[in-house]
Structures are given as structure tokens and as C-alpha cells.
């Protein structure tokens, strides 16, 4: 390890501010002994750099899926004072509001198996995947402005969402403070034709089964609608597509000059930032919020098309199939939230970069139907090893700004993965494992091979044992639409 770490308790390590010039707070790593030993040096470098940023409060954090990212490590969480702190696109990511949506069905494995190939073919038609693809929803500039402001509320108004969807999404799928005047024409042009698309990279749509032996908390699972053996669920992973990427790119250019204006220096140019309360910081926050709302709408329109595919291929109504959103949550975002820090309640701007909100029981921001048990937490694994449904905890509210991990975490670059396996070979291998695949690109498929990620069971056990989220069920893939 590049820097000395002190074990605070099982699963939590701390790097003292004295180890690097300019650190304002300690850095904390949430992990297991095994995962900590395998962390790349970049994580230690980046999380300690985050600890130097102006106005940071508490600790700079990294979750067990941590790995090298742009500015912040993936798995990074940090909170900054509203009055004295900064906002940094490097702490949010270029794919603003990349996140997960989990949909339940009343179907079980034996019902879906015979029609799985046709179902995947139809989903592959209705949910475009790959670089630069366009969706089926065509909007003019004024209509897309409404999406940027209203998010899923726009979808509801235009027939792409039902009441239950809106009540089962982080903040109802509509964040306040969105201002389309902070979204450039280029971002508009890149985003308005892409609603309802997966994109590329590690984005996917997966049909998964929850086997009886993979249910860890049956009572909470039942509250989330998981109530029968071998139940089928659908997991969607994607974000704001070209719109979000362009918003981040545009404002990063502004921040470079703003840092000179405000006399801010960082250890890494990828941590470009501006005071949150400054005109430049507020402009980015309002543009970022627009992109986040477009991502909520993007996932919602994908869900609309999932419903079309299932009803068409299975010849049953939505009600018969029981297609209902369990939850939708962002893992690349910054939001204003309140926590007790240093013994007093404080409003802060929380950055989550490859980290998931995991609010515990009784939080007013958890939907009414889940409020007494906590927020569903969705964690995507590799396309070969499955994903998890967890629940948020009070400990997360106390220690990690209501946050936990977001996925397995990569162990190698996409280029390295492509050198080790061919996409065509991987399709065969996955078929032998019982996973049927439809992929936009064979090389893109190879980049996401299972061995390019940490073991999902290891990272989930780490947060479960630490207590910042708790296991509810494991989801095993049987069909994958790969972006």
C-alpha cells in the first residue's frame, strides 16, 4: 500500500491527514481484509487527493468496489459544506446519474424459459444498445427541455410511466433545481434522440432469476415483491447518455478557469472544481441536475419498452405478468442532503461516484411503502456472476452519508480484458452457463467478461458485514442485452 492505513474496526480503515500535504480530513476505506490487500495504488492516491479539496467535511470515503477513476476513485463518496465547499464533476462522473432500475414480475423460471430467445430478440429491437444509437422517442428542443426539468414526471404525463413507477424511484425521478439554460446546444443535440437507449460500456438489460437459496432475508424480500421460488426480475443499468457526458465536458472547461479565479489548487487536474455557492458551481449543479433527470427518464422509457416486449411475446397483460418497478437509484450524482457531522446537523453537497444511496429505515426520502424497512439498494455485478438486492441501514446514515457500493469493481482495463478473451468465445461460454446474450458489439462484450471484475459475493459480504447495507437476495442472470 502506498500510504499507511490504520484499522478502525473490522471492515473500516483510515488514512491520517498527516500522510499527504494538504489533506483536510482523514480518508476512510470500507473493505474486507482480502479486498483491501488487492486495492490498486490509484485508489489510495485518489481518495487522499479528494481529502484535500476545500470545504470537505467528515471523511473522504471509498467503498469495497473501489478502483481507479477520473479524479475520484470509483466507489468514492465525499460531502462538502454548502457555504464553504466545492462541487467537482470528477466526483460525479461523465455518465451523470448512471444508475439501476429493478423490475419484478410474477413469472417463474419455468414459465419464461421456452420463450426466452424470442423475448431477448424483441427486447434487443425495442431497447437500442451500442455507441451513439438513437431511441424511438423523437423530441424537439422544447419537449426535451421538459424532460430535463421534469424527468419521470414527463414520462408519466406522456404515457411512458404509471403511478407506481413514480413512487418507486429515488426522489420520484425528478430532482429540483434543474435549469435547461445551463445545458449547451451540443448537449441538447446529443441527448434528445437517445431516450430509451442503453448505450455501450458496461450498460445492460438483464433478465435474472432469484433462486430460493439466494434469498437472505425473506421478510424484506417479500416487502420488495419477491414472494415465490425462482421468481424472474429484470435489471437495467444505464444513465444520461450523450447529454450527461456533454454537460460534464462543458462545465469542466469552465471550472479550469474558475479555479484560477477563486485561487483553488488541487493535486490532480481531474479534480477541477468550483465553490458550490459560486455562479460557476451553481451553473454546473443546475446543468448536472438536468442530465440526472434525463437519465431517470431514459430508464423509464426502457421500462416502457420492456413492458411492450413481455406482453407481446408472452401474450399476457402487464397485470398478469406483474411488471412493477421495485426501485430505481442513481450511483453517479451530487445531491444536497443533511447529516449529523461532528455532533451537529449540517446541510452538505454529497458526491457519489460509483456509489449508491442506501438510506435506512424512517428516512423521509424513502418511499412510503418501504420507509419502515429502508431503501432498496441495487448492486450490479458482472454479466456472468449476477447482481444483488440489498436494503439501506441506519449505520450508513451515521457513517457513509447514507451510501454503499454500486457494483463489483473492475480489476483490469477494458483493453486488457479484450486481449484475454474473444467476444464469440464468451457468447459460447455464457450459453454453457445458462446465460443467453444479445450484444451490440463482440469487442464490447469481451470488455465486460466476468473475470475483469472483483467477485460480487466478496464485495457484497464486505458491506453486509460492515453494516452499511444488508443482503436481501442475489439475482442470477439467464438473459443479457449488452450495450
> Mind telling me the catalytic residues?
406
Q: Where are the alpha helices (DSSP H) in 213-356?
A: 218-223, 241-262, 279-314, 318-321
Contacts of 379 (CB under 8 A, 6+ apart): 100, 356, 387, 388, 389, 390, 404, 405, 406, 407, 456, 459, 460
For residue 142, what is its C-alpha cell? 422544447
Q: In this structure, what are the phi and psi dihedrals at residue 224, rounded to the nearest 5 degrees?
A: -90, 5
If you ran DSSP here, which 8-state letter would residue 338 be given? E
Paired with 12 in beta bridges are 9, 30
Q: How many CA atoms lie within 13 A of 279 on its CB side?
A: 4
Instruction: Please answer whether residues 11 and 32 qualify as being in contact, where contact means their C-beta atoms are separated by less than 8 angstroms.
Output: yes
Residue that the C-alpha cell 460509483 belongs to: 354
**Backbone φ and ψ of 302, nearest 5°:** -60, -45
Q: What counts of helices (H) and strands (E) characterise the chain? A: 17, 19
Q: Cβ distance 391 to 375 under 8 Å? A: yes
Q: How far apart are CA 28 and CA 383, in angstroms?
A: 29
How big, in percent rounded to 5, are the helix, strand and coil portions of the chain?
Answer: 40, 25, 35
Secondary structure in 3-state letters for 449-477: CHHHECCHHHHHHHHHHHCCEEEEEEEEE
In DSSP notation, 144-191 reads HHHHHHHTHHHHHHTTS--HHHHTTBGGGG--TT--GGGS-HHHHHHH
Distance separating alpha carbons of residues 189 and 179, to the nearest angstrom: 16
Amino acid at each position: 500500500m502506498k500510504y499507511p492505513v490504520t484499522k478502525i474496526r473490522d471492515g473500516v480503515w483510515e488514512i491520517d491527514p498527516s500522510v499527504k500535504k494538504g489533506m483536510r480530513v482523514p480518508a476512510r476505506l470500507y473493505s474486507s481484509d482480502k479486498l483491501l490487500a488487492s486495492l490498486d495504488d490509484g485508489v489510495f492516491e485518489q481518495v487522499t487527493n479528494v481529502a484535500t479539496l476545500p470545504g470537505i467535511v467528515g471523511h473522504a470515503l471509498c467503498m469495497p468496489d473501489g478502483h481507479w477513476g477520473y479524479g475520484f476513485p470509483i466507489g468514492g463518496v465525499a460531502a462538502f459544506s454548502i457555504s464553504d465547499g466545492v462541487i467537482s464533476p470528477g466526483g460525479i462522473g461523465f455518465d451523470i446519474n448512471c444508475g439501476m432500475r429493478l423490475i419484478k414480475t410474477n413469472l417463474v423460471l419455468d414459465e419464461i424459459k421456452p420463450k426466452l430467445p424470442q423475448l431477448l430478440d424483441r427486447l434487443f429491437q425495442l431497447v437500442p444498445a451500442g455507441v451513439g444509437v438513437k431511441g424511438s422517442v423523437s423530441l424537439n428542443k422544447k419537449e426535451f427541455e421538459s424532460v430535463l426539468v421534469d424527468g419521470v414526471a414527463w414520462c408519466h404525463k406522456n404515457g411512458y410511466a404509471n403511478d407506481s413507477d413514480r413512487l418507486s424511484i429515488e426522489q420520484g425521478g425528478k430532482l429540483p433545481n434543474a435549469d435547461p439554460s445551463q445545458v449547451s446546444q451540443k448537449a441538447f443535440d446529443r441527448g434528445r434522440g437517445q431516450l430509451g437507449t442503453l448505450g455501450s460500456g458496461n450498460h445492460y438489460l438483464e433478465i435474472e432469476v432469484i433462486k430460493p437459496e439466494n434469498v437472505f432475508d425473506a421478510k424484506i424480500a417479500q416487502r420488495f415483491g419477491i414472494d415465490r421460488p425462482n421468481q424472474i426480475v429484470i435489471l437495467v443499468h444505464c444513465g444520461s447518455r450523450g447529454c450527461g457526458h456533454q454537460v460534464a465536458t462543458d462545465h469542466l472547461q469552465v471550472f479550469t478557469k474558475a479555479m484560477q479565479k477563486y485561487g483553488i489548487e488541487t493535486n490532480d487536474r481531474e479534480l477541477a472544481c468550483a465553490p458550490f455557492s459560486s455562479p460557476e458551481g451553481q451553473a454546473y449543479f443546475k446543468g448536472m441536475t438536468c442530465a440526472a433527470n434525463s437519465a431517470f427518464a431514459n430508464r423509464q422509457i426502457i421500462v416502457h419498452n420492456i413492458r411492450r416486449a413481455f406482453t407481446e411475446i408472452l401474450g399476457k397483460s402487464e397485470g398478469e405478468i406483474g411488471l412493477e418497478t421495485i426501485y430505481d437509484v442513481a450511483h453517479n450524482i451530487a445531491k444536497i442532503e443533511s447529516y449529523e457531522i461532528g455532533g451537529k446537523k449540517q446541510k452538505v453537497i454529497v458526491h457519489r461516484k460509483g456509489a449508491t444511496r442506501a438510506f435506512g429505515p424512517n428516512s423521509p426520502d424513502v418511499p412510503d411503502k418501504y420507509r419502515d424497512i429502508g431503501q432498496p439498494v441495487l448492486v450490479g455485478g458482472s454479466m456472468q456472476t449476477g447482481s444483488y438486492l440489498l436494503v439501506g441501514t441506519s449505520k450508513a446514515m451515521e457513517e457513509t452519508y447514507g451510501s454503499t457500493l454500486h457494483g463489483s469493481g473492475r480489476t483490469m482495463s477494458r483493453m486488457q480484458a479484450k486481449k484475454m478473451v474473444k467476444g464469440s468465445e464468451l457468447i459460447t461460454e455464457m450459453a454453457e452457463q445458462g446465460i443467453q446474450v444479445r450484444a451490440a458489439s463482440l469487442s464490447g462484450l469481451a470488455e465486460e467478461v466476468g473475470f475483469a471484475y472483483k467477485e460480487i459475493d466478496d464485495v457484497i459480504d464486505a458491506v453486509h458485514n460492515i453494516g452499511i447495507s444488508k443482503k436481501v437476495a442475489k439475482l442470477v442472470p439467464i438473459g443479457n442485452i449488452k450495450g
